[in-house]
Amino acid sequence: MDDNYDNHTPEQIRVLGEFVVASMGLGDEQREFTPEGLTLLSELEPSITVDTATPFGALVDSLGLLVRSAQGNAGFDSPATALLALFGSASVGALYTDERGDVGRNLRGAAREVWGEDWVERLLDAVFHVGELRPSPLTRFTASLTYLDNNRFLRRAQAAGVSIAYSRGPGPLLPQHFYGAPILRDMMRDAARPPEPWAFTPESGADAWPVQLESGANPFRVLNYEYGLLDPEIHGIRRYCFSAPDARRDLRAYAASLSGRDRHRYVEYSVEVLTRTLLQQNIELSAIDSEPDFDWWKDHIIRSSQPEVLLGLRDERARKVAHALLVSTSLLPRVVEAAQTDGSLRDRLRIYIKNLEFDVIDARYRDDARRGVSRVLKTGGVALDTTEARTMAEREIHSMLD
């Protein structure tokens, strides 16, 4: 394989340029894309196409793992996301009982034949190494791919020693966003679940496939944490900052929908997942307590590291094309070089593109903590014992419910 592999296209550079130009607006004028940018985004063709009429194509389509172009072609933007789709099919996809699930079970069986009981770890290794050998400078992600890719993302961030994530719906506090809807449904009714962390019963998954669910209920969410944020085999400080007003609203709303024993159980699950998070020595957990302080950029930067930044798309028109964009930071200077603009706009573009650079994101994160804009619940690198973590988790969750 060519170690100097570089497959960026002028279209990818223009799409990222359009995102940055649209972000330069003030107030209500700050957007994700201009109309031209949305057109460019929708016209990107997947580099690996998949026929959705085939059994495999039907499965990955139902799992919400395919991106599409305006021309109707479906597939993947990179070899790594194609491998992630195999993992998603062999894990969550194998849980569904119809003929599409048969494809997932066959893939899981083949993976076990090759790698034995370590098939999950070996398949994730393959995703990581293929991503290193064949990086994609701009990759469209569906919601399902966003959660599946966190393992690869954090492993790549290890070299620099730190990554930063922002969230309005934090799984470490909200069980429905940690586990996804099917697993939480099982937990709330004491259903006997298989041992795999992604597993749920056929009854809990029968009502909808991932592609039919809103992102907060996606069953792939649990893999974002079990094989990502909370994975003890991944090293480096993981800074995770959440919007406390949004978390409080979601926590209260879900708890209010329950009564008696179910409400108590839900709150206990909230305390448990937060305790697990606080027990991870390399996690730094912080909260933004003022709604205006969780600004436009925090809302759009899902996670950031030296080599990559994952941008969440919030506009409904953009979300019809992709849930998020994974951007290689090596692409950023090319955006300014390729810009067909006058000198003053080019200078503004050169400034605004820095919003996607890790050093700037990191400096703003540290400045928020210094100025008291963010509240650090736990510092990265600090080890808590179970009692300390549990006490801290109970205090945070109950304060949100009071």
344 vs 233: which has the higher pLDDT: 233
Residue carrying structure tokens 């957007």: 31
Enumerate residues 6+ apart whose C-beta is below 8 A from 171: 177, 178, 221, 224, 225, 229, 273
Percent pLDDT > 90 in the chain is 80
The DSSP output letter for 225 is I
CA distances to 17, 83, 186 from 311, rounded to whole Å, are 13, 21, 32
CA nearest to 282, candidates 370, 367, 380 = 380
Helices 10-23 & 343-352, crossing angle to 10 degrees? 90
316 vs 303: which has the higher pLDDT: 303
Q: What is the mean pLDDT of residues 335-348?
A: 68
Q: What is the mean pLDDT of residues 61-75?
A: 97
pLDDT higher than 70, residue 280: yes
Q: How many residues does the chain have?
A: 402
Q: What is the mean pLDDT of residues 9-14?
A: 84
Provide the pLDDT confidence category of residue 350 given band limits of 50, 70 and 90.
confident
CA distance 277 to 284: 9
Q: Helix or strand or coil: residue 74?
A: strand
Q: How much is the pLDDT for 2?
A: 37
pLDDT higher than 50, residue 6: no
pLDDT digits (tens, 9 = 90+) for 122-141: 999 999 999 999 888 999 99
What pTM does this model have? Answer: 0.94
pLDDT higher than 70, residue 26: no
Q: How much is the pLDDT for 342?
A: 53
CA distance 301 to 45: 24
Percent pLDDT > 70 in the chain is 95
Q: What angle do CA 183, 185, 190 make, to 5 degrees?
A: 95
Provide the pLDDT confidence category of residue 207 given band limits of 50, 70 and 90.
confident
Please state, rounded to an integer, the average pLDDT across all residues of the chain. 92
Q: How much is the pLDDT for 28?
A: 64
Q: How much is the pLDDT for 5?
A: 39
